[in-house]
Amino acid sequence: MTWVEHRAVESDRDGDEMPAWSVLATELESVASGLDQRFVDAGRSLERAYDTVGNLIGSLESVTNALDRDAADRAVATMQANADQLASLPARQKTRQHSLDILQQASGTVQTEIGRVDRTLDLLKICGQYLKVAAAGAHGFAEFADAMVAELDVSEREIHEISKEVGQLASTVPCVVEVNRVLASECARLCPHVPDKLAADAIGLQQNQIEAARRAETIATIARDIRSKLSAAHGALQIGDITRQRLEHVAQACSLLGTAVDELNRAGDPAAASALEGQVMAMLAAQVADAAADLQKESRLLGGNFRAIATQVATMVAPHESSGVERTSDGAFLQLLEQSVADVDAVTAQLRDADMRSTQLGSEASATVRRLGDRLTTIHRVTSGVRIMAWNSDLRSFRMGREGDGLARIATEIRCAVNTLEAVSASIASAFEQLSDAADAIGSPHDGDEATAGSLPEALAVIRAGALLTRQGMSGLDRDAGAIHDIVAAMTSTLDCETAFAEPLARINAKLDALAMPLVEASQSISTTGEQLFHAINAFYTMARERQVHARFSPSQDQPEAEVAALSEEADDCDGLF
């Protein structure tokens, strides 16, 4: 008993004796407090990391949704369509210029032939006067001459209107020719490199957007896995609270043990006090050893988990860093794209103006040709009527015999003039066909013009908005990843419990082992006070694992064997945090 009493007390520097259980309780509470503070700090850091990862995931998801897929496809299609339109411009300009040349040539032909028509009509009028004079009042010839002159007046009015309208049409052609010339000059300056570049930029933009979305989704997937690991780690941090509670329970048990030992000593039963102290100390040593082992195991798992997270953070940033050149050139890329769009849009604006003028000219030419065709039909009718009149006059003069020879010669001259008029009218009709074909070629819309007209600025606005959202979404990646890395590194250091708590817990456990004297048959050697103490200690346990360890030393077997086995399974389920 003297040896036990010697072991159960410690001396401070002043020589005052202090019960070992009191010293142990103080040390246990100190370790529990420090451990709890570490895990509380780690929990707060974990919450910050979780929130930061959540923010990062939100930013990355905004990148994948930065540019609506349909809107992006439409913008790229618009750029490619404009590039194709500009690339086809030289051929279109050549076709337009050819049509304008035909229009000018046909207009000149019509004007020339109209002069011949005028001269022929004048000749016919003169023939009509000659016929009237030569007939000398003979029946029917004067009426024929008057009717022919009246018809010729109709033709003359029609041909003058034709000349006027063709002149107006011809006067508008030089304006369109000049617009076409300026456009051709711009086309020579920009083609083919500008449309080729715009088409390449459109494809490059599409690939850039796809790659940015793919990269963001890859990083977001890693970030979601990190968030899942952080969520699991949040539950595993309970080991800190569990260990704190177990150490506090051991400290409480030390205090209760001190009270029970004092009570037995006062009752004059030091042997019972010694036996109780040895058994309880053995049980408490087992509790501390078990708690320390669980803490070590879970802390190592936590550390491994956080190190894996740190590796994932590095992996998450790696694909972003590998595209650093691309990231730094995003602004320059957009600037070059804007310049290409500006160049193309300026030319397409001129092209739209030229197309508008050409379409207007073509429409006017088509309308003019239709009106001229109607007038030419009138001239054909008049010419046909005059020819019939000439044949009738010839027949009448034939019946008159030699007296009608002069009239016959005039009628023949009229028929020759009518033939000339018909030939000239045919030439004018051919020129009208050329005018009509040229007008149709100039005035017909080109495929894709309506789809692309005025759409480049809108496409660029969509592209610019998507690029801005992409930059904003990716801009916080380095910052957030760095913050996550720092927080995880700090938590890893904070939860390195082996360095901070292994030695104090080992020292406490050594003291408990030194005081432990487990009984072979605890139920036969522990007093009633001891049994009550074991019941009291068992009452404030909160973990199944504590009760399981407690059951190995309890003198009265607080739980039946089946319940102890169940507690063992429960401890395996509840205390394994990873």
At 403 the pLDDT is 61
- List of residues 6+ apart from 173 with CB closer than 8 A: 100, 103, 104, 107, 361
Residues 171 and 152 in one domain: yes
Q: How far apart are CA 493 and CA 148, in angstroms?
A: 119
pLDDT digits (tens, 9 = 90+) for 416-434: 888 888 888 888 888 878 8
At 521 the pLDDT is 60
Residues 346 and 426 in one domain: yes
Residues 63 and 77 in one domain: no
Low-confidence residues in the chain, pLDDT < 50 = 1-15, 321-328, 447-448, 451-454, 560-568, 571-574, 576-578
Q: Specify the residue for token string 């027949």.
A: 395
Q: How far apart are CA 409 and CA 245, in angstroms?
A: 141
What is the three-state SS of 352-383?
HHHHHHHHHHHHHHHHHHHHHHHHHHHHHHHH
Tell me if 173 sits within 8 A of 361, measured CB to CB.
yes
DSSP structure string for 548-578: HHHHTT-TT-SS-HHHHHHHHHHHHHHH---
At 283 the pLDDT is 93
Q: Do β-strands 17-19 and 9-11 pair in parallel, antiparallel, or remain unpaired?
A: antiparallel
Q: How far apart are CA 300 and CA 171, in angstroms?
A: 94
Tell me if 417 sits within 8 A of 400, measured CB to CB.
no
Strand partners, 18: 10
At 82 the pLDDT is 74
Strand partners, 10: 18
Count of domains for the chain: 2
Q: How far apart are CA 339 and CA 574, in angstroms?
A: 65
At 564 the pLDDT is 47
Residues 203 and 348 in one domain: yes
Residues 315 and 288 in one domain: yes
Residues 445 and 363 in one domain: yes
Q: How far apart are CA 47 and CA 43, in angstroms?
A: 6
Residues 200 and 339 in one domain: yes
Residues 492 and 527 in one domain: yes
Residues 195 and 339 in one domain: yes
| Domain end position, chosen among 439, 467, 495 | 467
DSSP structure string for 243-287: HHHHHHHHHHHHHHHHHHHHHHHHTT-HHHHHHHHHHHHHHHHHH
- Residue 549: give the domain boundaries: 2-67+216-328+475-575
| Domain end position, chosen among 437, 467, 497 | 467
Residues 222 and 197 in one domain: no
At 328 the pLDDT is 43
Residues 345 and 458 in one domain: yes
At 330 the pLDDT is 56
State whether residue 476 is helix, strand or coil.
coil
Tokens matching residue 531: 């049994």
Enumerate long-range contacts of 91-96, CB under 8 Å, 24 or more apart. Answer: 92/446, 93/180, 93/183, 93/184, 93/187, 95/441, 96/180, 96/354, 96/358, 96/441, 96/442
Residues 436 and 350 in one domain: yes
State pTM to two decimals: 0.59
| Domain end position, chosen among 467, 500, 524 | 467
